[in-house]
Amino acid sequence: MHLVALPALADNYIWLQHDDDGHALVVDPGEAEPVERALRERGLSLRAILLTHHHQDHIGGVEALRRNHAAEVYAPHDLRIDHANQRLADGDTLELATPAARFDVIAVPGHTLSHIAYAGEGVLFCGDTLFSLGCGRLFEGTPAQMLASLDRLAALPGDLQVCCAHEYTAANGRFAREIDGGNAALEARLAEVARLRTAYQPTLPVPLERERQTNPFLRVDDPALVGWAARRGIGTLDREARFAAIRAAKDAYPG
């Protein structure tokens, strides 16, 4: 399977995977036009649309794509998402015939309550749950829910390529350095991110293993972040409070 990041809207990525016979799937098409162009340019036929959550920047292109293509639409159980043929829940396996693909469905409440992620084919489509060097804002879920969701994603094989739905890495990295400044893996990633963005290249996908080494929201048990929280009066055993404090500090961080 080939993997392509299609830039869309202000800073979204629509992920496209296709096989050698030209069968394609896309994830979270917030608009149809970049997908149509990619299909045309690459001579692909769209067979499946995978959705992670109900936000408009992830589903805005679904109706138009469904009108023009014989594509099945897979979505979480959430009535705020129309135009789905099949609903998926935690523990389900999504098996596609064309392109031949198999994904494990993982419920990841936090950013929204019905958010799901897809893991398989060497990639993790995690929508707005896990970002490179960051995580999604808590619009509907609690810090405890989001932490549990990120724990589950972090436990997946480290060679999975993390395909997030937004290019937020550089801004996330500025905050990560604030609270995890001595982290050499983070410094190396930041240098790489600066190089990529200067060349107008995506910073994604990124192997999950590198996120475990660099993403503060996956490093709540690391001594550096335990120390950061302790200096703010958070007990060293309270990892939920630590996660909530990191998320709140990020929310308050400029840019």
Give the binding site for Zn ion (CB under 5 A).
55, 128
Give min distance, CB of 27 to Fe ion, in A: 12
Which lies closer to Zn ion via its Cβ, residue 99 or residue 110?
110
Give min distance, CB of 128 to Fe ion, in A: 4
Helices vs. strands in the chain: H and E counts, helices first: 9, 14
Cα–Cα distances (Å) from 145 to 34, 174, 238, in that order, read 33, 25, 15
Which lies closer to Zn ion via its Cβ, residue 128 or residue 211?
128
| 111: annotated active-site residue | yes
Q: Under the criterion CB under 5 A, does residue 167 sit at the interface with Fe ion?
A: no
Which lies closer to Zn ion via its Cβ, residue 57 or residue 211?
57
User: Of Zn ion, Fe ion, none, which one does residue 211 interact with (CB within 5 to 8 Å by kind)?
Assistant: none
User: Of Zn ion, Fe ion, none, which one does residue 242 interact with (CB within 5 to 8 Å by kind)?
Assistant: none
Q: Which of residues 29-58 bind Fe ion (CB under 5 A)?
A: 57
| 115: annotated active-site residue | no
* Contact predicate 13/202, CB 8 Å: yes
| 54: annotated active-site residue | no
Selecting among 55, 69, 115, 180, the annotated active-site residue is 55
> How much of the chain is helix, strand and coil, in % rounded to 5?
35, 25, 40
| 83: annotated active-site residue | no
- H-helix or E-strand spanning residue 126: strand 123-127
Give min distance, CB of 111 to Zn ion, in A: 6
Selecting among 18, 23, 28, 57, the annotated active-site residue is 57
Which lies closer to Zn ion via its Cβ, residue 34 or residue 136?
136
For 253, the 3-state DSSP assignment is coil
Is omega for the bond preceding 205 within 30 degrees of 0, making it cis?
Answer: yes
Amino acid found at 255: G
* Alpha carbon distance 247, 62 (integer Å): 31
* Alpha carbon distance 23, 44 (integer Å): 6
Give min distance, CB of 4 to Zn ion, in A: 21
Lay out the site mask for Fe ion across 116-155 (x = CB under 5 A, - = otherwise): ------------x---------------------------
Which lies closer to Zn ion via its Cβ, residue 129 or residue 183?
129
* Alpha carbon distance 103, 94 (integer Å): 5
* Contact predicate 44/24, CB 8 Å: yes
Number of C-beta neighbours around residue 58 at 10 A: 27
User: Of Fe ion, Zn ion, none, which one does residue 69 interact with (CB within 5 to 8 Å by kind)?
Assistant: none
| 128: annotated active-site residue | yes
Give min distance, CB of 134 to Fe ion, in A: 12
* Alpha carbon distance 68, 53 (integer Å): 22
Q: Which residues are catalytic?
A: 53, 55, 57-58, 111, 128, 166
Instruction: By CB under 5 A, name the binding residues for Fe ion.
Output: 57, 128
